[in-house]
Structure 1
Amino acid sequence: MTYPLLVLPFVLVTAVVTALSARRPRFAARMAASGVAAVVLLALTAVFDNVMIALDLFTYPPEHLSGLRIGLAPVEDFAYPLCAAFGVPAVFALLRRTEPAT
């Protein structure tokens, strides 16, 4: 199970960064927008990963996967768009200056 272990640090960093951004303004709105983005990205991942795998553009060694799949796509593939949907806005919120420059 190599791929689940490879995904784990990305998920953990995303969770920590998102939690740290909770004290920044508009957290609830950011999470709502991230949720919508996550649904869209997950749907696109489901469609296009399945198409690419069906066309044999790439394969995964089964011994490195968890065994859980959505269609032909391993569930591990869905962690990256989820991390992007929540992690990127959280990083931007943390990098944004909260007080006006003098």
Structure 2
Amino acid sequence: MTYLLIDAVFLLICVGVAAVLLRGHSSSGFWRPAALAGAGLLVLTAVFDNVMIAVGLFSYRPDAVSGLAVGRAPIEDFAYPLAAAVLLPALWRRLRGPSEHAHEEATP
């Protein structure tokens, strides 16, 4: 099994769980901050994964990665921060109290 296949399954599960968590809640004001946080996580992943791979902290089996990379970091490394950017804000929104959520939507 390749890392790309594992990542695809993991991302599908995270998106599905996020959709369930957001069901019944307004998604206004959700996607823009999630996208900005995701972009920041992807940039940090690109920088720090390249550094860690360059100094030899870890490596990947060549037959388990797709061959697509950002610098030395295989594209598969970017699935986990992407999943976190989708799933964690959805979980946060779901676990917050309704009074906090109503106040957030009422402010412009």
Shorter-chain TM-score bucket reads 0.7 to 0.9
Structure 1 counterpart of 2:15: 15
Q: How far is 1:14 from its partner?
A: 1.7
CA displacement 1:35-79 (0-9 Å, x = unmatched): 010010000000000011111111101100011101100000000
Report 1:1-102 matches (<5 A).
2-20=2-20, 21=22, 23-25=24-26, 27-98=27-98
SS in 2 for 1:56: coil
One-letter identity of the residue aligned with 1:63: D
One-letter identity of the residue aligned with 1:87: L
TM normalised by structure 1 equals 0.84
Q: How far is 1:22 from its partner?
A: 5.0
Whole-Å Cα distance in 2 between the matches of residues 17 and 7 of structure 1? 15
Number of positions where the alignment pairs a residue of Structure 1 with one of Structure 2 = 99
One-letter identity of the residue aligned with 2:33: A
Whole-Å Cα distance in 2 between the matches of residues 10 and 82 of structure 1? 11
TM normalised by structure 2 equals 0.80
Whole-Å Cα distance in 2 between the matches of residues 97 and 9 of structure 1? 31
Whole-Å Cα distance in 1 between the matches of residues 74 and 23 of structure 2? 31
In structure 2, runs of 5+ residues without a counterpart are 100-108
Whole-Å Cα distance in 2 between the matches of residues 24 and 32 of structure 1? 16
